[in-house]
Structure 1
Amino acid sequence: MRLRQCPLANSQIGIRCSSSCRLKVQVRTRLLTLHVHSLRGQIVFTATAMRSSLQSLLAGSALWASAGAVTLFAADSGGNVTTLSLTGCTNNYTLSITSKTTDCEVNPSWLTLDGPNRVLYCYDRGAGSSVSGSLNSFSIGEDGLLSRIARVSAPLSGVAGEILTTSTGARGYISASYNRSAAAVFALGDDGALPGTGPVQVINPTLEKTGPVTLRQDRSYLHHVIIDPTNEYVLIPDLGGDRVRVYTYDPVTVAPIAEVAGLTAPPGSGPRHGFFRKARNGKTFFFFNGELDQKVYSYSVEYTAAGLVFTHVFDAPAIDAALPATRAPTSEIALSPDGRFLTVSNREKSFRDSPILGSGPSDTLSTFSIKEDGTLKLVQLAPSGGWSPRQFSFNKAGTLVAVGHQNNRTVTIWKRDVRSGKIVLEEDGGKVGEVVLTGAVVATIWDE
């Protein structure tokens, strides 16, 4: 069962609820009175209040209704994919472990949800002694219980992947591998099937010359997979090559993918993750984080007959320009569900070479507001809740953010103010819950 907020017309809030669901309601206001009654299979709350007061209340997220629980999935390098359950509302949340599986092999690294088909894909990057990793598919059962459907061999050191559905309905999974730099294409069958025994195509990019950060840029290092808004291009940031590689694909079979002109990033930036945003004026922008120079970048995107043309618009330090390059690497970057903010995670206190290593209890989540011209404004530096926040994700409503920490082995969930874009701090009741897993947490996603 999912966590739901269901504002209806006028002054009603309705929640569809089966006879077995547990309903919790908390109201923190003096502006209205709630009357509870049943109406055609729904539990309906009729609010006696001024319409403007009710609208303000709902917009501020003061009224929450929780029917059952919301599910999350977390992968850790201890070999587990864990199902988490978040129950409750307002200041009474409970985060707990409901089940776990070791069927993603020894080193799960990335999770991709196929919500409509109730399938979860898990990439296993393999152990240091392995010759390959694996791609695994799982059916999602009641309470998020995972049952493996299929497994195929995959390039070693996979760190990201994305499902691609073409205009003809063909489906594939495209992955990026880091240490053994590889872009791979897998066929996807119905109901989580993985045809064949491995990828249908593997590309191993090379560099014409190495980058200025010799310890990290001696060769190509792919780190993410992004589908563009037109669904015509696949982008893969190359940390080692200071570029974002761009690929086209076959609309009937997905493979083969073919590299075309991409984005050339500043030397030593080390592009890691990225996303697209389409502004209200119709312009398209691409944002990415430089892991090595610890900056956030904005580029405008022009679609031409020859492909994508990228133009630099803006860049800013993710946390502090005073921190030396390569000493406080960024990790994840994500667009808020409403498209108004971006957040990037930093490892300024947990990275081994940081000048402030271990100087505080938490690394940082940096949030920027996004202007329509593609420029950014810093709005908050907030604690992530632990050390080495490799990955985080927003819930669909944007009211919560789940952060996975490698060094602490924790999943920490924070409240988030949708209007301001800010994480609600712990002293203000913002910490929703936390669980400790068996290994370094590398991926945490919401089942919604």
Structure 2
Amino acid sequence: MTESQARRAYIGSFTAAGGRGVVVAALHPDTGALTPLAATDAVADPSYLALAPDTGTLYAVSETSDGAVAAFRVSGDALEPLGAPVPVQGDAPTHLALHGGHLLAANYGSGSVTSVPVRADGSLAPLPTGVLAHQGAGPHPQRQQSPHAHQVQPDPSGRWAVSVDLGTDSVRVCALGEDGLTLHREIALRPGSGPRHLAFHPRGDLAYVLNELAPTVTACAWDAADGALKPLAETSVLPGAPAGDAYPSAVVVAPDGRFLWAATRGEDVVSVFALDADGTARLTATVPCGGRWPRDLAVHPSGRFLYAANEHSGDVTWFTVDPDTGLPRRGGSVDVPAASCVVFG
């Protein structure tokens, strides 16, 4: 996607907390400012979204106890449901991604990943082809009694699907077949770290895992040929001890690979890292996220703008990124009750 093409933002939110569902917003190409245009609450708690530019289809999870995924046809500035929501046969899906002709959903509550076929017109098959159940636990007495799959995405080569599990302190590398995902390799991270999200470096041989329970980021080497992730170093996302609760939520890498940004709830900051060629992530600054409880971060395809979806204050704040330092400078914000994620199209 080029900068000129990214003129719309799609914002997920929690309808159970007063959100409007999926919000469509215009994106100003010079300032990064957002202007809400329309919304749909056709799906409950669409907390995470994924866009397929080739079919003009937007996909959403329904983060409920009887979790589901749904497809919407993007029609101008409106979203039209494309068939009925499809049950994921899992509890509380928190993330989804397109991979190999399927929509994959990470189910936090049940600790599993669901594969749903995507039809040629962008609509979803009525049933999943498979559900891969994670196994294991971690040392945290409340948060790690069972698996909690928090994110799933394809690797840059398109060969593998990678799922991040907070409950088992591990990252799973999977292959996609006719019957869904099969486990290729499981990579253990530090016990009790609670990995939540992973972002690949655009170079394709590095990945960064954000740990919710630590709070840290783990730099890793990625071998696409072998489907192997190797932890290299773990770095705090904060310059000192947290003043109170600190729960990292989202991590993104700049399109040019020079910077990494991580959001931390509780502290309500965005951390800025400079990335070295060997994969080292050096914390250079933290800035206020512009609201409370930043659940998601998104970087514009141009790399010029950064967005924080602040769930508890109910807004999306945009920042202009300094091209030399990666430092985000607050540009403004727009009210989006119970905001949870931002994607571009």
| Counterpart AA for 2:57 | V
Q: Out of 150-159 and 234-243, give the one that drifted further.
A: 150-159
| Counterpart AA for 2:128 | P
**1:109: which partner in 2?**
47
**1:446: which partner in 2?**
344
Displacement of 1:321: 4.1
Q: Is the 8 A contact 1:402 1:445 kept in 2?
A: no
2:112 equivalent to 1:188: no
Displacement of 1:311: 2.8
Q: Is the 8 A contact 1:262 1:308 kept in 2?
A: no
Task: Name the SS for the 1:443 alignment partner.
Answer: strand
**2:308: which partner in 1?**
403
- C-alpha distance in structure 2 between counterparts of 1:303 and 1:108, whole Å: 31
Q: Which runs of 4+ in 1 moved over 4 A?
A: none
**1:225: which partner in 2?**
152
Displacement of 1:182: 1.6
Displacement of 1:376: 1.4
**1:276: which partner in 2?**
200
Specify every segment of 5 or more residues in structure 1 that has no aligned partner in the other structure, as ranges.
6-68, 166-170, 350-362, 425-429
2:95 equivalent to 1:160: yes
2:204 equivalent to 1:299: no
Q: Is the 8 A contact 1:248 1:259 kept in 2?
A: yes
- C-alpha distance in structure 2 between counterparts of 1:185 and 1:222, whole Å: 14
Task: Name the SS for the 2:287 alignment partner.
Answer: strand
| Counterpart AA for 1:84 | A
User: After the TM superposition, which residues 424-439 of structure 1 pair with which residues of structure 2 at under 5 Å, given as runs?
Assistant: 424=329, 430-431=330-331, 433-438=332-337
**2:258: which partner in 1?**
340
**1:22: which partner in 2?**
none
Identical columns (%): 24
- C-alpha distance in structure 2 between counterparts of 1:398 and 1:303, whole Å: 25
Task: Name the SS for the 1:224 alignment partner.
Answer: strand
- C-alpha distance in structure 1 between counterparts of 2:319 and 2:310, whole Å: 13
**1:138: which partner in 2?**
72
| Counterpart AA for 1:162 | A
**2:102: which partner in 1?**
172
Work out which of the residue numbers 139, 147, 151 in structure 1 matches 2:80.
147
State the Cα RMSD in Å. 2.1
- Structure 2 vs 1, CA of residues 136 and 264 (structure 1 numbering), >3 Å: closer, same or farther? same
Q: Is the 8 A contact 1:302 1:310 kept in 2?
A: yes
Work out which of the residue numbers 324, 327, 349 in structure 1 matches 2:245.
327
- C-alpha distance in structure 2 between counterparts of 1:301 and 1:70, whole Å: 32
User: After the TM superposition, which residues 14-413 of structure 1 pair with which residues of structure 2 at under 5 Å, given as runs?
Assistant: 70-78=7-15, 80-87=21-28, 89-90=30-31, 95-103=34-42, 105-126=43-64, 130=65, 132-142=66-76, 144-150=77-83, 151-154=85-88, 155-165=90-100, 171-196=101-126, 198-207=127-136, 210-250=137-177, 253=178, 255-277=179-201, 279=203, 284-302=205-223, 307-323=226-242, 327-349=245-267, 363-413=268-318
Specify every segment of 5 or more residues in structure 2 that has no aligned partner in the other structure, as ranges.
none
Q: Is the 8 A contact 1:238 1:270 kept in 2?
A: yes
Displacement of 1:309: 3.4
Task: Name the SS for the 2:201 alignment partner.
Answer: strand
Displacement of 1:266: 0.3
- C-alpha distance in structure 1 between counterparts of 2:117 and 2:224, whole Å: 28
- Structure 2 vs 1, CA of residues 187 and 384 (structure 1 numbering), >3 Å: closer, same or farther? same
- Structure 2 vs 1, CA of residues 385 and 278 (structure 1 numbering), >3 Å: closer, same or farther? closer
- Structure 2 vs 1, CA of residues 211 and 414 (structure 1 numbering), >3 Å: closer, same or farther? same
TM value normalised by structure 1: 0.71
Task: Name the SS for the 2:114 alignment partner.
Answer: strand
Q: Is the 8 A contact 2:169 2:189 kept in 1?
A: yes
| Counterpart AA for 1:175 | A
Task: Name the SS for the 1:213 alignment partner.
Answer: coil
- C-alpha distance in structure 1 between counterparts of 2:229 and 2:55, whole Å: 35
- Structure 2 vs 1, CA of residues 395 and 88 (structure 1 numbering), >3 Å: closer, same or farther? closer
TM value normalised by structure 2: 0.92
- C-alpha distance in structure 2 between counterparts of 1:158 and 1:443, whole Å: 14
Q: Is the 8 A contact 1:124 1:133 kept in 2?
A: yes
Q: Is the 8 A contact 1:226 1:275 kept in 2?
A: no
Task: Name the SS for the 2:218 alignment partner.
Answer: strand
| Counterpart AA for 2:95 | A
